[in-house]
């Protein structure tokens, strides 16, 4: 069965084909650096597609906490941070941060440079996330 595509659908298909071609090119370059470790390459590629945001559960990590960093460049004085309580990871390795953590310093709402880090209980940083305002 042949289906005739509209001009708009043809443009969209061209974009998808270019994206696929570029993705294969990047994958080939990554495989030149990470040789023989297909799982690692797939994780790197997923991280790239996710805009650098990923969380892994190396070893026996069962809980994580979030850390909100405000004024990361210190332009308003000092960098402030607020930690969430530890939350359990789901079987898929996902964490959900909900509710209020505590009163935020004023700099968290006045400074544009805000980051959210995912950390294990001992404090080791393992991922980052985007803060939407």
Is the per-residue pLDDT at 10 higher than 80? Answer: yes
Q: 72: helix, coil or strand?
A: coil
Cβ pair 89, 95 in contact under 8 A: yes
Residue 77, C-beta contacts closer than 8 angstroms, at least 6 positions apart = 71, 107
Q: How many residues are recorded in the chain?
A: 133
pLDDT band at residue 17, thresholds of 50, 70 and 90? very high
Mean pLDDT for all residues in the chain: 74
Sketch the domain layout of the chain as residue ranges.
Answer: 7-49, 63-129
Which pTM was predicted?
0.43
pLDDT tens track for 27-37 = 888 788 777 87
pLDDT tens track for 70-119 = 766 667 666 667 778 888 888 777 777 776 656 677 777 777 767 777 77
Query: What is the reported pLDDT for 133?
Result: 47
H helix or E strand, kind and range, residue 40: helix 38-49
Residue 119, C-beta contacts closer than 8 angstroms, at least 6 positions apart = 64, 65, 66, 67, 125, 126
Is the per-residue pLDDT at 69 higher than 80? Answer: no
| Average pLDDT estimate for 35-51 | 73
Is the per-residue pLDDT at 55 higher than 80? Answer: no
H helix or E strand, kind and range, residue 28: helix 7-33
């Amino acid at each position: 069965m042949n289906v005739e595509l509209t001009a708009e659908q043809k443009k969209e298909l061209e974009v998808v084909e270019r994206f696929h071609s570029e993705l294969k090119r990047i994958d080939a370059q990554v495989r030149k650096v990470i040789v023989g470790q297909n799982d690692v390459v797939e994780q790197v590629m997923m991280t790239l597609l996710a805009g650098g945001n990923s969380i892994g559960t190396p070893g026996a990590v069962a809980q994580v906490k979030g850390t909100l960093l405000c004024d990361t460049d210190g332009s308003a004085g000092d960098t402030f941070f607020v930690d969430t309580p530890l939350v359990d990871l789901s079987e898929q390795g996902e964490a959900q941060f909900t509710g209020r953590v505590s009163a935020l310093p004023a700099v968290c709402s006045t400074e544009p440079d805000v980051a959210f880090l995912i950390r294990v209980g001992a404090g080791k940083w393992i991922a980052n996330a985007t803060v939407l305002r």
